[in-house]
Every structure is written in structure tokens, then in C-alpha cells.
Structure 1
Amino acid sequence: MPLLARTVNTPLAIEVRRGAIADLGTLLADRRISAGGEVALVVGPGLGERVAELCRPGLGSADVFTVVGGTLDSAHEVGEKLRRRNYDAVVGIGGGKTIDTAKYAATRFGIPMVSVATSLANDGIASPVASLEHDGFKGSYGVHIPIAVVVDLDFVDDGPDAQTRAGIGDALSNLNAVADWELAHRERGEPIDGLAVTLARASAEALLNHPGSLTDDDFLTSLAESLILGGLAMAVCGSSRPASGGCHEISHALDRLHPGTASHGEQCGLGALFCTFLRASIEPAQQSRFDRLSACMKRHGLPRTPADLGISDHDFVAAVEFAPRTRPDRYTILEHLDLGRDELITRVADYADAVH
């Protein structure tokens, strides 16, 4: 009987530990990514430059390109610089904006990309998606998954706690994204990928149940692994479905209607909690998930109400009402319930009572 299987693209190496950046040259050589350090280091201003100097002893032949990342224009600028020389790999060092810029530029010119994260603010560190601004709007662009992922906990620990909290919100929101995907499968027959679901849900559950805190290396490792597995889940199924549901629609709506409200991860965490509350109204078994998710977010200091984000209930109602328009092709609990403005006002008020 023939064995049927599929090939899944994953990074050759994943390193999550303290001191990982200083050993970057050794890792690239050991994994046959770059034996001679012929790489382009793409760094952000400030911290990125300091990190580049830290790993330079093992990458003496590297070129360093400093960028103010996060835009399609900056990614194109990096791409033009990559044409000047043959590189073994592009190494993006820094936060999500720098890494996404490097991912897009490397993909454009068919060069392997190494993701070196100094913060854990979102799942972009290992995803096949680059979020970049263009003409005042943020778009998502398909890119190659990183050939290696490095997370140095020394830098994560030294960074702002707000960035780590954002990563927690982004990782936990996968629970809602998967539930929305399963809903679309039941209601509309949308194809579902069991492996992608397993990766996204299991990693988020591990974080949900972890007793540690932001100062705990074991917890930070679990967070890094959850974000990485969320990225791999997207690579497995070829879309953002296992990591983006009604939670992300709400976040995109807030970005559109009230730009600068909060970080992507914080908004997604709140969106996931609200969507789980809505789901519990038609699936009583989801009440336990809502309670556990709310308790976890409270323990880590994540915003759970519109007021925690600095916006009014009225503003949040408007964002939830607008949310389905941000992803017209996606079916989530928001599209399923299709609540009108008056009903949303009632549900948001009930939600605030349930959280408190």
C-alpha cells in the first residue's frame, strides 16, 4: 500500500535562548546557510545596529543595511541594494517591521532569509507573510518562510514589556482564528487543514495554560515557540486562516477607524476575547474557553475592554460593525451572527459586565 504524504516547508534551524545572536555566524555555517558569512544584515536604527556589531565577529564578510522598515518602499530599497552582490542569505535583525522588510526584499530576489528577532510582538518572525504599509494603508504580502529563526531572550527581556504583551495577544488570538475556521468549515464547507489547525491551536493552548510570567525564561520560550508555530501553521495551509479570524478583522477595523489605538497584538487579543464571548452565546461549551482566556489576559496585563484600549464602547461597536468589510472573503463569528448596530451595543455592554 503506498504511503501518501506531503512536504512541508519549515526553517532549517530554530534557536530560542539567551546569547543566540552572538553565535549567529556559527549557526549559519553549521546549517550550510553561509559558510563564509557572505550575508546581508538588514537592521533597524539603534538597537539593530548594536545587534549587528555583536554578531559581526562571526560574519566578517557581511554587509549591513540600516533601514527604517515597515513600508513597501523601504523593502524595495533594500532589494535594490541586494542586487549589487551575490549573498548567501538576507538576515533581518530587529522587530517585526525590520523582519518583514527583509522577508519581502529577500523573496523578491530569491535569496534565503534568516529571521533574528529581538522582540516577541507578533507571529511575523516565522510567517510566510510580510505586513507593509503602502500609500497610507497596511497590506499583507506573501513571502518565503524564513530558512532559520533565531530569538535571543536577552534582547526580549531587555525590551519593553508592552511588546511582549502584544505577542501574547497575537498568539492567544489563534484560538479564536481556529474556531472561526472550523465554523466556516461547518457552515460553508470551507476546506480546513488539520495540521495547520493542530499547530495553531496546540501552541496557543500551551501559552494559555502556562503559569509563568513575562520575567520567566520558560514562559518567554513558550511564547516564542507559540509565535513560531503560528507562522508555520500559515505556511502549512498557504494562508493566514489559522492565525486570523474575527479577532484580526476587529484589529484591522480599529486601524482603519482609529489608527494608533494600540498595538496589533493587543487589539487582536481583545478581538479574540470579544469573539469568544459572542461564540459562547451559541456554543455554551465556549464559556469555559472565554473564562480561561480572560483570566490569562488579565494575568499578563493585556487590555480586555475598549476602555483598556483608551476608546469608548461606541467606538468599539463601530469597529466591530466595520470589521467584516476588512476581509470580505473571510467567514467568522462576526459574519455568522451578522449583528446590527443596536444588537452590538447590547452585546458590548454585556461583554463588559462578563469581563469584570
Structure 2
Amino acid sequence: MRFRTCTSPHLIPGHSVGGVMRQVLYALVPGTLAMTWFFGWGVLVNVSLAILFSVAFEALMVAARGRPVLATLGDSSAILAGWLFALAIPPLAPVWVLLIGTAFAIVVAKHLYGGLGYNPFNPAMVGYVVVLVSFPRELSLWPSPEGLTNASLSLLQTLQTTLTGRLPEGMDWDAITRASPLDMMRESIVSGQTVTEVTQSPVFGSFSQTEWEWAGNLFLLGGLWLLYRRVITWHIPVSMLLTLATVAGVFWVIDPDYFASPAFHVFSGAAIIGAFFIATDPVSAATTPTGRILFGAGIGLLIYVIRTWGGYPDAVAFAVLLMNMVAPTLDHYTRPRIFGHSRDGHG
């Protein structure tokens, strides 16, 4: 009797690359809808255009490398990179910012390093940092978070603003934009106000500006769903947010008039989306359990240091990219020992 044999693997994997990427995309939906509700149609316009550009650049690079285009596009990694990049930039950013950012994310940060699985840096964060450093004015024009202040911009007006870089006639940037919570806190502290005085502003909720809190809560909900589905592990999100809160708490206790509270730092800016959706990138993050904890802790520490004493109010992208460089070293020194072998792999 003959038995049919086949090569390994013999078990069907629980998660495919495309399946994992799509679950992350599903988890981004609640927070994205919240941002759209509070900041207008520009959020969805940015996401749509960034995905379109990312997929186009992905197809172009895959074809140039002689790889199967449709099979590669099916893993949805380009869609995820474009979506995350779009959430990082202001909703009314001009279309050329989206084009340049996605080009750097997909072409440079991903494919010039060998494609998915070989990129040492998070592609979306590379694209965001490039446009942030290059075009600071365009990256500072966030719509006012006071309810639906920018609701006067219809979908058609939003498209016109994105494609032309100009507001509709009769509108002014100063009238519809306002500093983000982190920008407002930094500028107010520098001008001599205390943290208590800043947070007395009606735009602030329990911890941060109300709209940013709601978006953060819904991204947190999506992140917890990813943990429940075991798409990501707890190591990086918990260590990152716990370190950020702990360091912020120490300085807050020392001088609460000058340093913002831990809750403010966690619920402002991109801390939550960074913890669950950006820092957990399986390619550019550390891979060992101990390495992930150290990786997340390093990001949390760097976020606080750059926010407090650096030149940029929200430091998630810079912190992630800096720790991406450290990830291989963390994996090397935290490699678990294999039975019968030393940590360096020799018998």
C-alpha cells in the first residue's frame, strides 16, 4: 500500500498575511469613522487617495521586479500602509502631500529594501516623517476640533481643497484650523501658562480635547479587538503606554503646573493608534517576547522625551523609527534558548 506524502508545512496556518492585514483594517474602522465625524470629509478623502496611491505604487514596483502583481496586492499590506499614513496627516492636506508620502512609504521604505518582510522601518511612518519634515506648514493645518466647526466644507468642497490646495472662496485657514492638543499645550506652557490654565479651555475634556479622546477610545477598542483575535500580542502596546504614562506621571508629580498628566499624554496625539497599529508591525518591530517589551518601553520613553524637550509635539513616528533601528539588536540579545543549544545557536 502506498501513502501519498507531501512536504511541510503539514498544518494549515491560523493566520495568513492577507488575513492579518484585513483584520487590522477592520479594527481601524471605528476610529476612522470617529475622526471623520469630528474633523470632516477630509479624513475619508485622505484615506481613499492614500490607498489608491499606495496600491498603484505597489503594483508598479512589483511589476518592475517581475513578481505577480495581483497575488502581491492581495496581501493588503499596501492598503494598510496607505490608511495609516492618511490618518497621520491633516484631513485637508493637499493631494501632492499624499502622493509624496505614499511614494516614500511604498517605493523607498518598502520595496527598495526588498518588499514585505524585509523592510527595517515602518513604511507608513517613513512616509509621514518625510512630509512632516519637508512641509511643516501643510502638516500643521488640522481642522478645529470643536464639534463640527468645519462642517461647512461639503464633500465636494473638501475634494476641491485637497486637489487644489486652496479653500473655497470666502474661507480662511485661520478660521477653520486650530492647534492640536499637544501643540496647544506646548505653546501655552512656553508662553507662561500652567497646565491647569490650559486644560480649563472648553475644548478640553477629561484628559485631552474631547474629539481626540473619542477617536482615541475607538482606536483603543479596535486595538483590544486585535488582542482578542490574537492578531497582535500585549507586549508592545502595554509596555509602550505603561512606560509613557509612568514617565509622564513622575514629572507630573514633580511639577503639575509645567508637565501634563499621564492621561493627557496617552489620549493625545497618536499614542493609542501608535501602540496598537503602528508599533506592532510584525516586520519592523522586535519579535521575541522580552524584545517586544523593551521595544515598546523604548518607544514610550522616546515619545515623552521628544514631546517634552524635542522640536515636534507628537513624537510617535520618530520614536517608532528610532526603535526600528534597535529591534534587530533587541532580538539578538533576547533570543530564547533552544533546548540543547546555547543562545548563539551553537551546540
Return the TM-score normalized by structure 2: 0.28
Structure with the higher fraction of residues in helix conformation: 2
Structure with the higher fraction of residues in strand conformation: 1
User: Bigger radius of gyration, 1 or 2?
Assistant: 2
Which has the higher relative contact order, 1 or 2, with Cα contacts under 8 A spaced 6 or more apart?
2
Return the TM-score normalized by structure 1: 0.28
